[in-house]
């Protein structure tokens, strides 16, 4: 049984004294009692406080047990005669009267202990249905209060779930399309809250047309309370895909989930000419919240367009001079979020990298005509037109293979800016002797590559960790570096043969002026550093830098470090090559070269055997799959008429060649002539660890000789064929090699790719030398040698960066002052 005090209305609250007995009414025996009087509580429990519960003009004063489920509390309150509720309890909910907070299972105990008055109201499900119905109204008197109330209701999870389940986003999006003024602001705020609280389901109903509506709102809406939520919604829409419906929708309009939200917003942005201009202007409007939202939106759009390989947005931002506006935010006085600026800086660098990697195509050829017009030169000699602009040939489009479209755009910007005096520079160079003329356009490409190297645009790099104003003024920096290189060229009296030397000076000056992290110098100092650079001063500083670098790398500890890292790299590559043999590969297999002697029995079952499919139709060539056995004693293989997709199973490899029967592995000649292949033991490459090569750098010491020959040497003494080597270097490399036994070739294999060729030629060298109990094996191909050397150099640079970062001085030789007088010492880790 549950007991309550008599119903207490607002007008009769004083009619009941504390001594009046409470009225009792029956309660279902299977359910706990929610509404209690103090007499019904166990003596060991503290009695709950009394609360007032109102419904319409009626109320009841009762004590609620917080241990009872919320739905049971609602059922018993609705069943109480004081409230006289005739509808089902499922249609009701409780709210704290003053704050309007919805009572849930999670906060019921806290609210009952804190508040004293509650209101029995419609359930979140009914509220959601009512508000969705009002959002569909075209009457402003109905729509505006609905959007105003929705701002707070959507923050309640129970309401939000019911709102989404009944197509509330569709109705809210419709209200955004139809409304204006404060009603539009309320609707946008509600939608922003929905998208922040819901992942996935909240995007239902936001199609391409809605994205266009948001773009128009941001571009034309002058009010901050409208522009702020609209920008936030656009940013979220561009960051996430439009997902297929998760909840039932009341809209019958078809939706397409084939396009992402990014594509939808990007196309709408590019179609609305005023949008980007408005967003750029708001970067410096003074409202910090709008500035941060605009930065975030530009970052998402730019990063997404770069991922799509689309440069239209980046070009539009450049035309609006957006990066100058962003650069004004870097001083910190504007209050912009530094993390957003750093992310936008990374996206801008990614767009520059994409422009650098974009080749110059025929659609860009009109830029060359614009360059000629900007030069102001008279078109008197059609056969020498582009060389007069400073190109190296009359086909300038081919000179942008490395600078790409970024180089052409930078040259165009340099030529169009009157401050750079492009036309005057060309005219000044025209009066100089032809051999001393500075090729201005070629120097422009050189400057572009120097900056691309400085900003790590030539290869994918991690995102920047520090803000810098320099990337946002990339084209201005390019113009300064071009003028610096022209000045150095003139001061040095350089010729075309000195272009690399001038580029090295420019690289030194770029590193000196811009520094490693950027931002240390003002823009005035940067301009002065490039425009007043003198050849003698730059050259002297470059020589000092080279001396410091050479002195450091030649010290004994660094040489020892290089030797250790070379050995580690060698062992790593050796293990990788042998692992490739165990993994196996397909080879195009032909009959061995004719041999006058008969095969030796020791050559194994495959010695001297022609492939089984060697008929006229296949020209004696077929496919074989070879794999090194687990014990490294034999090459297992099987034969097929065509190369298969996968690799054969172990039981299919029924044939084998004993490694002991292979006396040599001979690469085929690269010329296709009668040249005899070079043996692996004669190939010139990096020496194995422990050989006569220098342990410090992998090269032979001065004064030592080696019996190894060049990869292109013939069977005779290489000294007698030095004149043939240059011609052979230009021949395409052969991917064939032969396994040679005691009595002649066993089989000739052709690798499917240069990578497989290098892996197997070196892998067989390592395995055969190891099986013979000798050294660990020599490197046979230049690819593997370069691989080991590259790993060594990377390791040395990483170690040296660690030392330079900690400002550790590397001593040429450690001085030992004498034997310690006691044992209280330890040996420090060496370099």
Q: What is the pLDDT confidence band of residue 142, given thresholds at 50, 70 and 90?
A: very high
Q: Which two tokens stand for residue 723?
A: 């004149």
Q: How far, in Å, CA of 762 to CA of 777, rounded?
A: 8
- Of the chain, the percentage scoring pLDDT greater than 70 comes to 73
Q: Which two tokens stand for residue 80?
A: 């109480």
Q: How far, in Å, CA of 821 to CA of 825, rounded?
A: 10
Go through the domains of the chain in sequence order and give each one's CATH number: 2-122 (3.10.20.90), 128-335 (1.25.10.10), 362-553 (no CATH), 571-700+732-786 (2.30.29.30)
Q: What is the DSSP string of 533-566?
A: --HHHHHHHHHHHHHHHHHHHTSHHHHHHHHHHH
Side-chain-side CA neighbours of residue 233 (13 Å)? 30
Is pLDDT of 472 > 70? yes
pLDDT in tens, 62-74: 888 888 888 888 8
Is pLDDT of 742 > 70? yes
Q: What is the mean pLDDT of residues 147-165?
A: 89
Is pLDDT of 152 > 50? yes
Cβ neighbourhood burial of 161 (10 Å; 0-12, 13-18, 19+):
middle
Q: Which two tokens stand for residue 68?
A: 């009872």
Give me the helix-helix angle, 181-197 and 224-239, nearest 10°: 30
Residue 73 φ/ψ, nearest 5 degrees: -60, -45
Q: What is the pLDDT confidence band of residue 729, given thresholds at 50, 70 and 90?
A: very low
Is pLDDT of 368 > 90? yes
Is pLDDT of 688 > 90? no
| SS3 sequence of 699-744 | CECCCCCCCCECCCCCCCCHHHHCCCHHHHHCCCCCCEEEEEECCE
Is pLDDT of 637 > 70? yes
What is the reported pTM? Answer: 0.61
Helix (H, G, I), strand (E, B) or coil at 586: strand
- The conformational region for residue 479 under phi > 0 = left, psi -120 to 50 = alpha, else beta, is alpha
| DSSP, res 154 | T
Q: What is the mean pLDDT of residues 273-288?
A: 88
pLDDT at 286: 77
Q: Which residue has the tokens 């997404």?
A: 304
Is pLDDT of 403 > 60? yes
pLDDT in tens, 593-620: 443 333 433 333 333 343 333 333 345 5
Q: What is the mean pLDDT of residues 575-582?
A: 92
pLDDT at 19: 33
pLDDT at 829: 60
Is pLDDT of 680 > 70? no
pLDDT at 148: 92
Is pLDDT of 709 > 70? no
Q: What is the pLDDT confidence band of residue 462, given thresholds at 50, 70 and 90?
A: low
Q: Which two tokens stand for residue 588?
A: 């195009």
pLDDT at 811: 56
Helix (H, G, I), strand (E, B) or coil at 626: strand
Q: What is the mean pLDDT of residues 771-796?
A: 79
Q: What is the mean pLDDT of residues 153-167?
A: 88
Cβ contact 505:535 at 8 Å: yes
Alpha-carbon dihedral sign for residues 254, 256, 257, 263 = negative
pLDDT at 518: 46
Q: What is the pLDDT confidence band of residue 300, given thresholds at 50, 70 and 90?
A: very high
Angle at Cα 636 formed by Cα 632 and Cα 637, nearest 5°? 155
Q: What is the mean pLDDT of residues 181-186?
A: 92
Q: Which residue has the tokens 């900690």?
A: 806
Is pLDDT of 119 > 50? yes
The residue that leads in pLDDT, 556 or 293, is 293
Q: How far, in Å, CA of 112 to CA of 797, rounded?
A: 67
Residue 588 φ/ψ, nearest 5 degrees: -80, 120
pLDDT at 707: 31
Q: What is the pLDDT confidence band of residue 371, given thresholds at 50, 70 and 90?
A: very high
Is pLDDT of 551 > 80? no
Partnered with residue 4 across adjacent β-strands are 23
Give me the helix-helix angle, 499-514 and 535-553, nearest 10°: 80
Residue 445 φ/ψ, nearest 5 degrees: -65, -35
Is pLDDT of 667 > 90? no
> Quick one: CA torsion of 167, 173, 175, 178, rounded to 10 degrees?
-140
Q: What is the mean pLDDT of residues 796-806?
A: 66
pLDDT at 302: 94
Is pLDDT of 266 > 50? yes
Q: In whole numbers, what is the pLDDT of the chain averaged over residues?
A: 77
| SS3 sequence of 632-683 | CCEEEEEEECCCCCCCCCHHHCCEEEEHHHCCEEEECCCCCCCCCCCCHHHE
Q: What is the DSSP string of 367-392?
A: HHHHHHHHHT-----GGGHHHHTT-S
Q: What is the pLDDT confidence band of residue 412, given thresholds at 50, 70 and 90?
A: very high
pLDDT in tens, 11-28: 333 323 333 333 333 344
Helix (H, G, I), strand (E, B) or coil at 506: helix
| DSSP, res 102 | B
């Amino acid at each position: 049984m549950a007991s309550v005090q008599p119903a207490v209305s607002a007008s009769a609250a004083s009619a009941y004294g504390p001594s009046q007995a409470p009225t009792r009414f029956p309660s279902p025996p299977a359910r706990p009692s929610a509404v209690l009087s103090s007499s019904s509580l166990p003596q060991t429990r503290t009695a709950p406080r009394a609360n007032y519960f109102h419904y319409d003009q009626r109320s009841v004063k009762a004590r609620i047990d917080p241990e009872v489920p919320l739905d049971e509390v609602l059922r018993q309150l609705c069943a109480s005669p004081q409230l006289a509720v005739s509808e089902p309890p499922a249609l009701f909910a409780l709210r704290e009267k003053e704050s309007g907070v919805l009572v849930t299972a999670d906060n019921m105990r806290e609210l009952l202990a804190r508040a004293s008055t509650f209101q029995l109201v419609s359930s979140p499900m009914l509220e959601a249905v009512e508000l969705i119905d009002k959002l569909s109204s075209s009457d402003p008197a109905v729509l505006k209060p609905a959007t105003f109330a929705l701002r707070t209701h959507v923050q309640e999870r129970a309401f939000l779930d019911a709102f989404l389940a009944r197509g509330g986003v569709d109705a809210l999006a419709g209200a955004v399309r139809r409304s204006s003024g404060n009603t539009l602001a309320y609707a946008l705020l509600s939608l922003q809250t929905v998208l922040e609280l819901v992942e996935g389901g909240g995007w239902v109903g936001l199609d391409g047309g809605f994205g266009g509506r948001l773009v128009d709102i941001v571009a034309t809406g002058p009010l901050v309370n409208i522009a702020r939520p609209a920008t936030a919604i656009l940013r979220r829409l561009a960051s996430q895909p439009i997902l297929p419906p998760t909840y039932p929708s009341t809209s019958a309009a078809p939706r397409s989930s084939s396009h992402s939200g990014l594509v939808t917003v990007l196309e709408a942005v590019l179609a609305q000419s005023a949008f980007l201009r408005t967003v750029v202007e708001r970067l410096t409007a003074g409202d910090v919240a709008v500035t941060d939202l605009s930065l975030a939106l530009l970052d998402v759009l730019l990063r997404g367009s770069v991922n799509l390989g689309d440069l239209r947005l980046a070009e539009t931002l450049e035309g609006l001079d957006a990066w100058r506006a962003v650069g004004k935010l870097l001083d910190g006085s504007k209050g912009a979020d530094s993390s957003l600026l750093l992310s936008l800086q990374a996206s801008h660098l990614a767009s520059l990298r994409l422009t650098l990697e974009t080749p110059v195509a025929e659609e860009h050829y009109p830029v060359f005509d614009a360059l000629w017009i900007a030069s102001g030169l008279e078109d008197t000699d059609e056969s020498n037109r582009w060389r007069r602009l400073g190109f190296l040939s009359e086909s300038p489009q081919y000179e942008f293979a490395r600078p790409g479209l970024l180089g052409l755009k930078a040259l165009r910007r340099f030529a169009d800016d009157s401050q750079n005096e492009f036309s005057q520079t060309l005219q000044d160079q025209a009066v100089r002797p032809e051999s001393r003329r500075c090729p201005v356009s070629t120097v422009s490409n050189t400057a572009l590559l120097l900056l691309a190297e400085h900003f790590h645009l030539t290869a994918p790099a991690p995102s920047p960790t520090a803000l810098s104003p320099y990337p946002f003024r990339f084209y201005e920096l390019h113009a300064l570096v071009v003028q610096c290189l022209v000045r150095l060229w003139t001061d040095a009296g350089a010729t075309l043969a000195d272009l690399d030397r001038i580029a090295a000076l420019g690289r030194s000056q770029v590193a000196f002026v811009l520094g490693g992290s950027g931002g240390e110098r003002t823009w005035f100092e940067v301009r002065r550093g490039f425009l007043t650079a003198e050849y003698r001063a730059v050259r002297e500083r470059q020589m000092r830098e080279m001396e410091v670098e050479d002195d450091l790398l030649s010290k004994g500890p660094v040489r020892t470090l290089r030797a250790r890292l070379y050995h580690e790299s060698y062992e790593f590559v050796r293990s990788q090559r042998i692992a490739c043999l165990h993994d196996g590969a397909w080879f195009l297999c032909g009959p061995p070269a004719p041999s006058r002697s008969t095969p030796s029995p020791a050559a194994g079952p495959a010695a001297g055997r022609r492939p089984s499919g060697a008929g006229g139709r296949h020209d004696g060539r077929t496919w074989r799959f070879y794999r090194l056995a687990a014990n490294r004693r034999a090459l297992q293989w099987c034969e097929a008429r065509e190369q298969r997709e996968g690799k054969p199973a172990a039981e299919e490899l029924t044939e084998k060649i004993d490694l002991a029967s292979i006396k040599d592995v001979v690469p085929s000649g690269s010329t296709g002539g009668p040249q005899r292949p070079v043996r692996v033991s004669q190939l010139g490459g990096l020496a194995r660890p422990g050989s006569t090569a220098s342990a410090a750098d992998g090269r032979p010491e001065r004064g030592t000789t080696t019996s190894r020959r060049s990869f292109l040497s013939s069977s005779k003494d290489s000294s007698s064929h030095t004149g043939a080597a240059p011609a052979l270097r230009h021949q395409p490399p052969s991917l064939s090699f032969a396994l040679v036994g005691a009595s002649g070739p066993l089989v000739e294999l052709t690798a499917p790719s240069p990578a497989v060729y290098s892996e197997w030629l070196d892998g067989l060298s390592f395995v055969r030398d190891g099986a013979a109990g000798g050294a660990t094996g020599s490197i046979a191909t230049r690819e593997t040698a370069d691989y080991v050397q590259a790993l060594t150099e990377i390791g040395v640079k990483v170690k040296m960066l660690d030392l330079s970062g900690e400002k550790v001085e590397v001593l040429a030789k450690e001085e030992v002052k004498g034997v310690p007088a006691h044992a209280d010492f330890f040996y420090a880790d060496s370099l």
